[in-house]
Amino acid sequence: MKSLKRFWRRITDGMALSQLWSQFHADALFSYRLYSQEIDSRRMPGVGRIRHVSRMAKLFLWSILDKLSPARRVLLLIAFILFFPYMHLDGFSSSGIFWGCILLLVVLVLEVADRVVMKRDLQIAKEIQAWLLPTEPPQVMGLEIAFATRPANTVAGDYYDVFPRPATYSPEGTYLIVIADVAGKSIPAAMLMATYQASLKTLAGISSSLIDLVGRMNNYACGNSQNGRRFTTTFISEYNPATRGLAYVNAGHNSPILHRQSGTIERLSASGIPLGILENAPYESGGVTLQSGDWLVIFTDGVTEAVNGYNEEYGEGRLMSLLHSNLTTAPQLLLNTILNDINHFVGNTPQHDDITLILLKAV
């Protein structure tokens, strides 16, 4: 009995049945979305319900088979032939079922091997990406800062950073506050995120205005965007602690929310198209002066577009409500509150986009 319990604990990692069911539900939903994303589920005019269901089942099966290599498709086909007695010329064959199970096991082992190798590579990519992102915000005079990111997959296409800009443009010293969202997700988006980070850190050291910096980054991105298919929305701002001024360029990104101490709301709206779409695209800068008690919330669309099991979006209204009710708290506490609220809202529903937040409080 003890050996059976040890075996069960090893199989389940000590998880309760409710946790196992939740994990299975999340995995099944993710797999369904993966296999059905290329299927047009609309019923064609004049097609009956039964025929439509049959067509959808066939398309879904082909979608699964297309994810396998040709050799594994053949193995799976042979396994199915061996499984079904009515397909045997000599009637029922228990040995056929046995060899069918063996072939299914072979296909499973091959797929698991691929998954293990991919998981190892993704873990390495995740560690490398972690080196590119800051773990703690810098100490900036006049500001309290908190930030966090949660990838939809193992690696993310979102980028954020707060770092001092070399004193080549402003003798007093300034800080760049940046957030970006690369179109797409997983490995391709993560690779472009790395090129974004490298170009930003390199070009930020050149004496130039914020508009020139964004323009140079856009021209660089155009050479790596696959003719505009891999564009990047970004909000780049430069904060001067001496004047408390914040200059910014919004290249197609979600408009950050500036909640003034007086209660008024301002939006730092887009002033140009995303990076990587059009070379030499024009950009305009805006500017605000932060006063004590002001809050600035910078986020990617993964925050407001997080969905729950009913396909309802989290929305800006819920984000604004949390901000209004926590104005006296520290940014890190408010950040934790928002992330916990998003977790509670989405439950076990897999997310299609990365979640990234930067909170600034003027003090």
Range of 325's domain? 135-362
Question: Do both 111 and 164 map to the same domain?
Answer: no
Question: Do both 82 and 139 map to the same domain?
Answer: no
Q: Average the pLDDT over each of 122-126, 189-193, 210-214 and give the range with the smallest value.
A: 122-126
> What are phi and psi for residue 144, nearest 5 degrees?
-110, 135
Pairing assessment for the beta strands 158-165 and 174-182 based on DSSP bridges? antiparallel
Q: Average the pLDDT over each of 25-34, 84-93, 163-172 and give the range with the smallest value.
A: 84-93
In the predicted model, is pLDDT for residue 92 greater than 80? no
Mean pLDDT of 151-161: 81
Question: Do both 75 and 159 map to the same domain?
Answer: no
- pLDDT score of 85: 59
Look at residues 132, 153, 175 and tell me which one is the last residue of a structural domain: 132
**Rounded-to-integer distance, Cα 291 and Cα 230, Å:** 37
Mean pLDDT of 140-166: 88
In the predicted model, is pLDDT for residue 91 greater than 70? no
Question: Do both 294 and 337 map to the same domain?
Answer: yes
Q: Within a domain: residue 32?
A: no
Question: Do both 212 and 76 map to the same domain?
Answer: no
Question: Do both 216 and 358 map to the same domain?
Answer: yes
Q: Within a domain: residue 316?
A: yes
Mean pLDDT of 147-152: 89
Q: Within a domain: residue 254?
A: yes
Question: 185-189: which pairs have CB atoms within 8 A and are 24 or more residues apart?
Answer: 185/152, 185/153, 185/156, 185/157, 185/352, 185/353, 185/354, 186/153, 186/154, 186/155, 186/157, 187/122, 187/125, 187/155, 188/157, 188/230, 189/155, 189/156, 189/157, 189/230
Q: Within a domain: residue 30?
A: no
Question: Do both 86 and 231 map to the same domain?
Answer: no
Mean pLDDT of 21-37: 76
Mean pLDDT of 85-100: 61
Categorize the per-residue pLDDT at 172 as very low, low, confident or very high, splitting at 50, 70 and 90.
low
Token readout for 116 is 């293990």
Question: Do both 207 and 355 map to the same domain?
Answer: yes
Give the orientation angle of helix 17-36 with respect to helix 49-66, to 10 degrees.
100
Question: Do both 159 and 270 map to the same domain?
Answer: yes
* CATH number of the domain to which 216 belongs: 3.60.40.10
Query: What's the domain count of the chain?
Result: 2
Look at residues 96, 111, 132 and tell me which one is the last residue of a structural domain: 132
Question: Do both 110 and 148 map to the same domain?
Answer: no
Look at residues 132, 155, 182 and tell me which one is the last residue of a structural domain: 132
Share of the chain above pLDDT 90, in %: 42
Tell me the pTM: 0.75
**Rounded-to-integer distance, Cα 153 and Cα 302, Å:** 12
Q: Within a domain: residue 53?
A: no
Question: Do both 284 and 139 map to the same domain?
Answer: yes
Q: Within a domain: residue 50?
A: no
Q: Residues 6 or more apart from 91 whose CB is under 8 A from it?
A: 85
Question: Do both 128 and 166 map to the same domain?
Answer: no
Q: Within a domain: residue 6?
A: no
In the predicted model, is pLDDT for residue 49 greater than 70? yes
Q: Within a domain: residue 355?
A: yes
Choose among 195, 184, 251: nearest CA to 221: 195
Q: What is the mean pLDDT of the chain?
A: 85
Q: What ranges in the chain are assigned the alpha helix state H? A: 2-12, 17-36, 49-66, 70-83, 94-132, 186-203, 210-222, 301-304, 315-324, 331-346
Residue-wise pLDDT for 220-251, tens only, equals: 898 876 666 779 999 999 999 999 999 999 99
- pLDDT score of 122: 64
Q: Which sign, positive or negative, has the C-alpha torsion 316, 317, 323, 326?
A: negative
Categorize the per-residue pLDDT at 93 as very low, low, confident or very high, splitting at 50, 70 and 90.
low
